[in-house]
Every structure is written in C-alpha cells, then in structure tokens.
C-alpha cells in the first residue's frame, strides 16, 4: 500500500489499537519485528517512539517527502518523543531524505510476494516442487473437510458480531501464547501475521490490555477502526469454522491498483504446531485460488523469512529496512550503489548506464499503477514485458547446481554473480562487446565452437588462434597464449566438437598468468565426471564461466544461458544486454526444470550409459578409425572413407555433424536414445 491516503487510514488504525491520539509506543512493546530490533540498545527498545510512514500494518512504507519528515520531527518534539520510526521502507527507494533527516536503517526481513502467472498448481509446481505441492494440496483438502471457509467484507462486519469477537479473541489468545523467541518462525503478514501480534497488558479482550504488557495491533478497537475507515471496502475478513467454533481468522486487503491482495494477518486456534502449519499452508493455498479466480495477479504475504516463504510459493522478495531516529543512532553511508565496474570493462561501456527499463529491475511495480511501458492493457498478461528482476531465479539456479557433483564451492556465489542471457552464445557476444576494445585481440583454441571466431570477426577484433594439441586434442599451449597477451581467451571445456576436458593445471596457470580475461564455456559440463570451474569466479576477477540450459537441462527452446562472473563484470555485461530478451515463458520453464530436477538428472545418467554403449560399439566397427574420449553428450569419430560414409548416412536419413573441415575425416555424433543409436549403427554397417 503506497498511497498517502491509505497510509493515513492505517495510522488511524494504529492509534485505535494503542488507545491514543498519536501512534506512540516503545519498540519493545510493539513487538512487530523482534529479530530486526534485537540488535538495538535496550534503552532504544524501551523509549517511546513516534511511528510514521505506513504504520505497522502496511507491508511497506514509501519514503516520506522531506516536508512530511519535517512534520514528523515537529510532532515528535511537541509530544516530547525522542525517537521516530518509519517501518518497512524498500531499499530500492531513494532514501536520501531519510538519511538527511537523521534516520538510520535497521535491516528487516524482505517482503514476500506470490505472483500468479497462471493456474495455481501450474504456478506453484515449478516454485516449490511437485512433492511439496502435493503436500500443500493434501493439507488444503484435509482442512477443507473439517472446517468451512468464509469471506466477509469488512464494511459488513457490524452485522456479524460473532466474527468480530472471534477475530479479536483468536488474536488475543495467540498473542498470549507467543514468546519473543518464537517471532522469527511464523509468517503471514510477514513473520508476525500468522500468530498475531503481542497484546498490551493492562486491558482484557479485544482492544484492552493483556497481562504480558504488550500492545496488540489486531485488537477489537483496531478492527473497528479499519471496518469504519477508508479501507473498509477493500478489506475482507476470512474465517474457518469447525461447527460453531471459529478456528482461524485473518484479513486481506485489495491493492489500490486492483491487481493483487495483501494478506495482513491470520490467527489460529491451536496449540499443536503441526495443526497450525496445516491450517496456515492450507489457507495460503485457498487465498491463491481465490485471488486467481478473481483475476488477481499476486498475493502479498508480508515480511518473512525468504527460505520459509519459498516453500509456500513466494517468488518475489523485496529487501526492506526500518528507519529509526534515535539519540544513539549514527547515519551510515548509502550502500545502494551498483557494483563497481570491472577493470576489464571496455572504455565506451564505462560511460553508459544500464539501458532503459533494466535500470529499474530492483524497483518492484506489482503494487503500482504502471503507465510506463506503452503496451496494450486489454490483451492479457502476454501484453506485458517480461520480468526484469531475475534474482530469485538466479538463487534457484545456484542452489540447484551447488548440489551437483563437481560443484563444490558454488554456494559461495551470490545472485550478483549471475546474469541470464538468451543462450550461452548471447553471453559470448555480450562479453566480447563489453570487455574488448578495437585492436585488442581474442584468443581461441581450435578445434572449438565456431561462433567464438564469428563474433570476434563481426566486432572487428583481432583473432589469435592457438590450436589444441595432444592425441586427444586436450592440451593447451599456455606459453603461446600468454605470449600473445590476448584481451580475452575463450576455452570450450568440455570441448565442442572433440568432447574432451582440458588439463585443469594448464587452465589454472592460464587464469593466474594472463593479463586479460579467461572465458570458460561449460555448455556440456553436467555430462562430465570432472569438476566445474564455476566456484572459481568468486576468487578470480578475470574469469567468466558460461553455462546453458539447452543441453543437459533439455531447454534449448527456452534460450537460457548463464554468465557467472564477479559483480563488476556482470554489471558491464548488463549495460549492453537487450532488457527483455529473457521472456517470462522462458523464466517459467527454467524455474520448473530447476525446481523439479529429478527427470533431468536421471536423463544425464541415461545419456552417459548410452554414450558408453555407443562408444564401445563404434570402436569395434569397421567403418570407424577412432572414437575420441568424451565427457559430453556426443562422440567425435574418425572414419575410414569419410566422404563415402557420410554420403551413405545421409542416404539412410541419418544426420550427423560433419566436422571433417575442422578435424580431418571426422564427424560428431550426438547421443540419441537407444533406438536412434541402433539405427546409426545399422546404417554404418551398410556404409562400407
């Protein structure tokens, strides 16, 4: 909720909860975000604080304008209050006015949003995995069998006193059960909503004070203020009843742009933690279904632990801070700058910004009325541009590959080390344009993937060729490469078209010895038994590792490449990248494949087994002179009577890659399924 009128209404709700004309209370008694405030001095926690911005109910608070901050300071002075809190400000906002007013950031948990890009099950399956989705559906079914589901417009609450009383009672009882140490393990409206907020201790029931001495933001007085305020028409209460007993009650509010819904709170009448979890997960699933049925595009879960909320379907996490002015607080330096550009960035790139809307990729617009993109609003979600903030997908990618064999140390990388490209070949073009200037050479090691040479020539970059040598074409001439002093050296490892791996000692020596950048194309690394170089990018500022989801992950049609490098290089590449090249459909396909990785990993084992079988059969075949060792999903084969064999294969309707112009008398054979491989062997038998 980002509109000033909405925030003013929420301020009135908070005042009603506190029983005061002004929103003033000690932070320790509010207990809204204990983990965030736990690091503060006890004196700060106990001191009365004026709460500005969106109050504690708003998922986030826009940065108040300078005149509003000045007014907040005057109010604090008039009330003799030494502290001011503006809670839940997005880090992507311009916080200069807050810093200028003497407020300092206190890190909080991120906002968690579930974006509904299709049917609920289709949306959740790629995010949480098929097993987790089945578990959530099981919980939802079990709860639905036991308890009815009802939604009540808050404007109609006066006609349903039982709902008002049950809501206040459930939140009061839940506040009594909770302890500060438990605060970090629940979620709903962020981490606080599922189990309510602590109540203030000198009333009883509803808007009164509780024995534990804490303010309770969801008491009956607050509910009445919300039901009779400006937000009542957009707010609904949801309840579950088992017979005549209300076992759960919460609140949702529709966004002002009409595209989504905020889940503000829910309270549950159960001591059993397992039962509470069942109800909570089942209720979120029901909210997703209701939102989708109503044509809404997202459900906002509030602030919460990102890892927990991922398991509930959240796919957008917006970093936020609370901003506090206190006598003990000092204003830190602004840490919002983009990563410093790599020293390898070509001079023209250093003078240009990230192009167009990609500059605003960290500024979420799901809860705004967005009139910036000049698209057609009447033709559905496909008329919108793709999501630009792919940080959550990058997190999923890193987490998935970190679990693969040969990827130890990848968990040290962050989403700042990742850039998605339109296939790995797009990454090659980007890095050459971003890192090499006219006159600076590019080194390739033939036989290798031909598009490296193609892009270097298109960009008019001098080309240095240092061929691989050795019987298996797997040995680098490191001394010759270093003597050439190229700006960029591109290695294909595992090699295409040979299929072998390079000597890791030679690769390490090249990375350490060159004054330029080393690019390692690992398009086939998932088929290899040897380790990836991905983890090394955290230690070397001159290393870029290119990956793809076209090969082992079976997503050639989705066009998804991945560049792994230090943030300064990623920033340089981003300045040249077409903003919307990675479509929403591709993002969904990638997320689905990575989250449900079992079939892909199983297929890699099948390909390796077929590779061994086919290699053994070809090695004994009279048409074959040699089968090169392979750690890919293809085999390089030297043929007897190369031209004749290739002609006979074409006549038999079998296409293989003719690599004879690169490596004499050879062809490259992709590993097919058993039937395709048997057809190849049969055709070869007739070739001679």
pLDDT confidence tier of residue 410, bands split at 50, 70 and 90: very high
For 5-41, the pLDDT digits (tens) are 888 898 899 899 888 899 998 887 765 555 677 778 8
Report residue 556: phi and psi, to 5°: -60, -35
pLDDT higher than threshold 50 for residue 195: no
pLDDT higher than threshold 50 for residue 197: no
Widest distance between CA atoms in the chain = 99
Percent of the chain with pLDDT over 90: 67
- The residue with greater pLDDT, 50 or 1, is 50
Closest CA to 14 of 65, 49, 45: 49
CB 466 within 8 A of CB 481: yes
pLDDT of residue 272: 60
The length of the chain in residues reads 688
- Sheet of strand 148-153, all strands in order from the earlier edge strand to the far edge: 148-153, 235-242, 245-254, 260-268, 298-303, 111-115, 316-318
Closest CA to 559 of 435, 448, 427, 657: 427
CB 635 within 8 A of CB 608: no
pLDDT of residue 554: 95
Two tokens, residue 611:
């590779």
Question: Which residue(s) pair with 323 in the sheet?
Answer: 86, 105
pLDDT higher than threshold 60 for residue 359: yes
Q: In this structure, how many other beta carbons lie within 10 angstroms of the beta carbon of residue 557?
A: 10
Angle among Cα 132, 280, 128 to the nearest 5 degrees reads: 20
For 458-496, the pLDDT digits (tens) are 999 999 999 999 999 999 999 999 999 999 999 999 999
* 3-class DSSP state of 444: strand
pLDDT of residue 206: 35
Closest CA to 147 of 275, 335, 19: 275
pLDDT of residue 207: 36
In whole angstroms, give the CA distance from residue 208 to residue 210. 7
Return the minimum-mean-pLDDT range out of 194-198, 249-253, 364-368, 413-417: 194-198
pLDDT of residue 33: 55
Q: What is the mean pLDDT of residues 119-133?
A: 92
pLDDT higher than threshold 50 for residue 192: no
Angle among Cα 645, 650, 655 to the nearest 5 degrees reads: 100
CB 326 within 8 A of CB 372: no
Return the minimum-mean-pLDDT range out of 113-127, 272-286, 391-405, 669-683: 272-286
Question: In sequence order, which ranges of 153-219 are alpha helices (DSSP H)?
Answer: 161-177
205 alpha carbon, distance to own chain's centre: 42
Question: Which residue(s) pair with 77 in the sheet?
Answer: none
Question: In sequence order, which ranges of 421-477 are alpha helices (DSSP H)?
Answer: 424-435, 451-458
- The residue with greater pLDDT, 339 or 481, is 481
Q: What is the DSSP string of 606-625?
A: HHHHHHHHHHHHHHT-TTEE
pLDDT of residue 360: 80
CB 455 within 8 A of CB 671: no
Q: In this structure, how many other beta carbons lie within 10 angstroms of the beta carbon of residue 556?
A: 12
pLDDT higher than threshold 50 for residue 208: no
pTM of the model: 0.85
| Strand ranges in 422-549 using DSSP code E only, listed in sequence order | 442-444, 463-465, 488-492, 517-521, 543-548
Write down the mean pLDDT value for the chain: 88
Return the minimum-mean-pLDDT range out of 282-296, 375-389, 592-606: 375-389
Q: What is the DSSP string of 453-467?
A: HHHHHHTT--EEE--
Q: Determine whether 368 is exposed, middle or buried from the number of CB atoms within 10 Å of its CB (0-12, 13-18, 19+).
A: middle
Closest CA to 89 of 79, 98, 101: 98
**Helix (H) / strand (E) containing 420:** strand 418-421
pLDDT of residue 243: 87
pLDDT of residue 43: 87
């Amino acid at each position: 909720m980002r509109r000033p009128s909405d925030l003013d209404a929420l301020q009135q709700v908070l005042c009603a909860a506190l029983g005061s004309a002004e929103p003033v209370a000690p932070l320790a008694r509010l207990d809204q975000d204990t983990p965030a405030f736990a690091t503060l001095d006890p004196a700060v926690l106990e001191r009365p604080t004026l709460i500005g911005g969106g109050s504690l109910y708003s998922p986030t608070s826009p940065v108040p304008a300078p005149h509003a901050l000045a007014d907040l300071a005057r109010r604090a002075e008039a009330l003799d209050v030494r502290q001011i809190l503006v809670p839940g400000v997005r880090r992507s906002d311009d916080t200069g006015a807050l810093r200028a007013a003497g407020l300092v950031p206190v890190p909080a948990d991120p906002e968690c949003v579930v974006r509904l890009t299709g049917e609920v099950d289709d949306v959740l399956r790629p995010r949480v995995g098929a097993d987790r989705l089945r578990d959530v559906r099981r919980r939802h079914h079990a709860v639905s069998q036991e308890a009815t589901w009802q939604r009540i417009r808050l404007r109609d609450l006066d006609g349903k006193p039982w709902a008002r009383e049950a809501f206040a009672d459930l939140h009061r009882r839940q506040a009594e059960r909770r302890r500060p140490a438990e605060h970090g393990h629940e979620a709903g409206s962020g981490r606080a909503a599922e189990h309510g907020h602590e109540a203030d201790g000198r009333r009883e029931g509803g808007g009164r004070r509780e024995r534990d001495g804490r303010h309770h933001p969801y008491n009956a007085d607050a509910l009445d203020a919300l039901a009779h305020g400006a937000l009542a028409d957009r707010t609904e209460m949801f309840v579950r009843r088992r017979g005549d007993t209300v076992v759960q009650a919460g609140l949702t509010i529709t966004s002002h742009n009409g595209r989504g819904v905020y889940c503000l709170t829910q309270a549950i009448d159960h001591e059993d933690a397992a039962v509470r979890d069942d109800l909570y997960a089942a209720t979120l699933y029901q909210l997703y279904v209701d939102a989708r049925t109503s044509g809404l595009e997202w459900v906002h879960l509030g602030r919460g632990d990102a890892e927990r909320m991922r398991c509930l379907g959240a796919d957008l996490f917006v970093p936020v801070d609370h901003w506090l002015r206190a006598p003990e607080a000092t204003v830190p330096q602004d840490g919002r700058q983009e990563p410093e550009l790599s020293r390898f960035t070509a001079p023209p790139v250093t003078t240009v910004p990230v192009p167009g809307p990609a500059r605003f990729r960290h500024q979420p617009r799901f809860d705004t009325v967005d009139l910036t993109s000049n698209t057609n609003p009447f033709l559905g979600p496909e008329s919108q541009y793709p999501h630009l903030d792919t940080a959550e997908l990058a997190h999923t990618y890193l987490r998935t590959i970190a679990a693969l064999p040969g990827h130890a140390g990848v968990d040290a990388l962050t989403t700042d080390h990742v850039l998605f490209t339109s296939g790995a070949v797009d990454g090659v073009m980007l890095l050459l344009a971003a890192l090499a200037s006219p006159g600076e050479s590019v080194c390739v090691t033939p036989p290798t993937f031909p598009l490296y040479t193609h892009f270097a020539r298109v960009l008019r970059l001098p080309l240095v060729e240092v061929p691989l040598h050795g019987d298996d074409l797997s040995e680098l001439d490191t001394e010759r490469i270093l003597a050439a002093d190229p700006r960029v050296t591109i290695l294909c490892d595992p090699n295409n078209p040979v299929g072998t791996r390079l000597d890791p000692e030679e690769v390490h020596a090249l990375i350490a010895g060159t004054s330029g950048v080393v690019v390692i194309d690992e398009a086939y690394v998932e088929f290899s038994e040897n380790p990836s170089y991905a983890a090394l990018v955290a230690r070397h500022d001159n290393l870029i590792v290119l990956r793809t989801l076209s090969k082992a992950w079976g997503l050639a049609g989705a066009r998804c490449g991945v560049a792994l490098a230090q943030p300064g290089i990623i920033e340089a590449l981003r300045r040249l990248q077409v903003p919307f090249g990675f479509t929403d459909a591709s993002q969904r396909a990638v997320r689905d494949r990575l989250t449900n990785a079992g079939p892909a990993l199983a297929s890699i084992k099948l390909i390796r087994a077929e590779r061994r079988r086919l290699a053994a059969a070809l090695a004994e075949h009279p048409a074959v002179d040699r089968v090169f060792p392979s750690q890919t999903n293809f085999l390089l084969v030297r043929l007897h009577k190369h031209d004749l064999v290739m002609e006979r294969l074409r006549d038999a309707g079998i296409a293989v890659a003719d690599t004879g112009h690169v490596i004499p008398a050879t062809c490259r054979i992709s590993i097919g399924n058993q039937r395709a491989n048997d057809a190849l062997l049969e055709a070869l038998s007739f070739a001679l």
